[in-house]
Amino acid sequence: MDRPRVGELSPPDRLLMGPGPSDVHPRVLRSMSTPLVGHLDPSFVEIMDDVQELLRYVFRTDNQWTIPVSGTGSASMEAAVANLTEPGDTVLVPGNGYFGERMAAMVERAGGEAVFVEAPWGDPLDPAAVEAAFDRHQPDIFGFVHAETSTGTLQPNVPELTSIAHEHDALVIADTVTSLGGVELRVDEWGIDVAYSADQKCLSCPPGASPLTLNDRAMDKVLARETPVRSWYLDLSLLQEYWGDERAYHHTAPITNVYALREALRLVAEEGIENRWARHRRVAGALKAGVDAMGLALNPEEDWWLPSLNAVRLPAGVDDGTVIDALLEEYGIEIAGGLGDLSGEILRIGCMGHSARPENVLALVSALGNTLEALDADVDADAGASAARRALKR
C-alpha cells in the first residue's frame, strides 16, 4: 500500500456562531500548546484542584463532587443519568426538545423507565404540568434542560420546578450545557442536585472535558447503589478515587483539555460570572434587536429567550440550508438550522463565550440581512444592521 500523502492541517478561518462549539479564546489555545505532564504528576494534581475550585465558582455551588468528565457533554450527561438511575427507577424527562429525548434514551439504557412532561417544542416546562406528571408517575428523578439548544428556549422558574421534585422526594438533574458560563445559573440556590454541562459552548473550550456537579444527597444515592453502574468508564464511585482525596489512577485524564478548561475558567473568574451573564444578554440583545428590526421573529417568547442560542424563524419560502451555506461560504460564519419539530423552520444562532462579542454580532446581522435580501426575502437588512449597532451603544 502506498504511503498516504495527506497535506498539512489548515482549517479555514471561521466565526463560530452556531449551537457550539464557539470560538476559542487565544489564551485557551495557548494553554493547549504547553508541555504535557503526567495525569498523576503532583503539578497536575494542583491543576485538578484549581479546575474544581473554578468550576464550583461557575456553577455557583459548594458541592465537593464537582469535576470535568472526560469526553463531550454527552459523557457528563450520561455520567449524571447512568449513575443516578438504578434499574427500575422512573425518571421524568422534558418533552420540549431534542435533548430531553436523549436523556430518555440514556435512562432506558441505564435500566430505568423514562416518562415525559409534555410540552411543545419551543416552550418551557410549565410547573403545573410537572406537578401533574409527578402525581401521575411518582418518579424517582426529574431531569430538565435549562437551556434547550434545539429550540433556543430558556427554562424559567427553576426553583419552582426543583421544589416540586423535592416535595415528592425526587432528585433533580439539570442539563446546563448551553447555560453554564453564559446565562444565570445558581445550582445551590435553585435546589439543583446534579448539573452537567459541556465546555465548548459558553466556556469556549475545544470539546473534551465536561463539567459535572453533584450534591451530597445525589452522591449518597450513587454510592448506595445496589447494582453497579453499567458503564465502567463513567462510574462515579470509581472516578471519585481519581478526583477525590486518593488521586488514584482510574483512566488517563485528557490533560490538554483540562489545561484548556482551567484557562477558560480563569477567564470567567477574571470577568466575574455576573458580568459574563450580563455581557451575553447585552451582546445577544443586540443580535435580537437586529433580527427584529430586519423583520424576522425569534421563535421563543420574550420571557424564555435564551441569549446563548437565538432561534430565529425563517421568512416564508426561504430554505434554511441555502442561508446556512451562503453564510459559511461567503462570510465564513457558521450558524445552524432547526432540529426535530423545528427542522426547516428556524435558524439557530449562537452567542456564546468568546464568540459573544459586539463585532461578531454586527458581522452576523449584516451578513444575514444581505444573504436574505439576495434571496428576495421580505427583510430590511439596513434596518437590522443599524438596530444592532444602536443596541450596542446603549
Ligand X SMILES: Cc1ncc(COP(=O)(O)O)c(C=O)c1O
Residues 72, 85, 204, 299: which binds ligand X (CB under 6 A)?
Answer: 72
Question: Taking the complex as a whole, how short is the minimal distance between the CB of residue 111 and ligand X, in angstroms?
Answer: 21
145 binds ligand X (CB under 6 A): yes
- For ligand X, the binding residues in 171-230 under the rule CB under 6 A are 175, 177-178, 198, 207
SS3 210: strand
Question: Taking the complex as a whole, how short is the minimal distance between the CB of residue 126 and ligand X, in angstroms?
Answer: 19
> Residue holding cell 446534579?
194
DSSP character at residue 250: S
Residues 63, 96, 149, 370: which binds ligand X (CB under 6 A)?
Answer: 149
Question: Taking the complex as a whole, how short is the minimal distance between the CB of residue 307 and ligand X, in angstroms?
Answer: 15
User: Can you tell me the distance from the alpha carbon of 202 to that of 354, in angstroms, rounded to the nearest whole number?
Assistant: 8
Give the interface segment with ligand X, choosing from 52-60, 72-80, 246-254, 296-304 (CB under 6 A): 72-80
Q: Which three cell numbers stand for residue 142?
A: 426529574
Closer CB to ligand X, residue 74 or residue 237?
Answer: 74
385: left (phi over 0), alpha (psi -120 to 50) or beta: alpha
Question: Taking the complex as a whole, how short is the minimal distance between the CB of residue 109 and ligand X, in angstroms?
Answer: 15
Question: Taking the complex as a whole, how short is the minimal distance between the CB of residue 40 and ligand X, in angstroms?
Answer: 27
Q: How many residues sit close enough to ligand X to count as binding (CB under 6 A)?
A: 14
Measuring CA to CA, which residue among 88, 63, 91 is closest to residue 77? 91
Question: Taking the complex as a whole, how short is the minimal distance between the CB of residue 210 and ligand X, in angstroms?
Answer: 7
Please report which residue ranges of the chain form alpha helices under DSSP H: 26-31, 42-59, 73-84, 98-109, 127-137, 158-167, 216-223, 236-243, 255-271, 273-294, 320-331, 358-374, 381-393
Do 333 and 364 meet the contact criterion of CB atoms below 8 Å apart?
A: yes
Question: Taking the complex as a whole, how short is the minimal distance between the CB of residue 134 and ligand X, in angstroms?
Answer: 23
CB nearest ligand X: which residue? 73
Please report which residue ranges of 224-319 form alpha helices under DSSP H: 236-243, 255-271, 273-294
Residues 99, 121, 144, 305: which binds ligand X (CB under 6 A)?
Answer: 99
351 binds ligand X (CB under 6 A): no
20 binds ligand X (CB under 6 A): yes
User: Can you tell me the distance from the alpha carbon of 364 to that of 370, in angstroms, rounded to the nearest whole number?
Assistant: 10
Torsion angle of the four alpha carbons 13, 19, 20, 22, in this order, in degrees rounded to the nearest 10: 50
Closer CB to ligand X, residue 95 or residue 369?
Answer: 95
Give residues in contact with ligand X (CB under 6 A): 19-20, 72-74, 77, 99, 145, 149, 175, 177-178, 198, 207
